[in-house]
Amino acid sequence: MATEAFEDIAETFDFFDDWEDRYRHVIELGRAMPPMEEALKTPHTKVEGCASQVWIQPVLKGEGASAEFDFKGDSDAMIVRGLIAVLHALYSGLSVAQVTQVDALAELGRLGLDEHLSSQRSNGLRAMIMRIQAVASEAASR
């Protein structure tokens, strides 16, 4: 259940021969993301469990299970900022009900990220996914 934006990333990754090219592409995706306003970087939006500083601010349009999900995100680490951009492509525009059904680890596995991230980065990525899933689940139940 990947979005068109995520499918575009997956197709681009298929063109790269080695992980270094994919790594650089993830960083470029992060650089292309609009910056998150400093005022939103609060303890409430900070994602615990990440080695880097990570903030995710959900943006919901509508109410209940059909509300459209989006988020703003940022990190002090370029690769993590890129991972946030990948997650944004995976989830943005889905309903909150759909967000709760996405198997993010399987989708990200298509990119080979699971094989090339350090254990700290993998744990941080899982923490970001858990935060997004929790927000979507809560919003869907309202």
Q: How much is the pLDDT for 100?
A: 95
Which residues 6+ apart lie within 8 Å of 77 measured at CB? 52, 53
| Confidence check: pLDDT of 1 > 70 | no
Catalytic choice (2, 29, 36, 50): 50
Whole domain around residue 61: which residue ranges?
4-140
- Please tell me the total count of domains within the chain: 1
Amino acid at 27: I
Q: For residues 39 and 13, what is the distance between their CA atoms, to the nearest angstrom?
A: 34
Residue 50 designated active-site: yes
Average model confidence (pLDDT) across the chain? 93
Please provide the DSSP assignment of 73-137 as one string: EEESSHHHHHHHHHHHHHHTTSBHHHHHH--HHHHHHTTTHHHHS-HHHHHHHHHHHHHHHHHHH
The 10s digit of each residue's pLDDT in 49-83 is: 888 999 999 999 999 899 999 999 999 999 999 99
User: Which domain CATH number covers 93?
Assistant: 3.90.1010.10
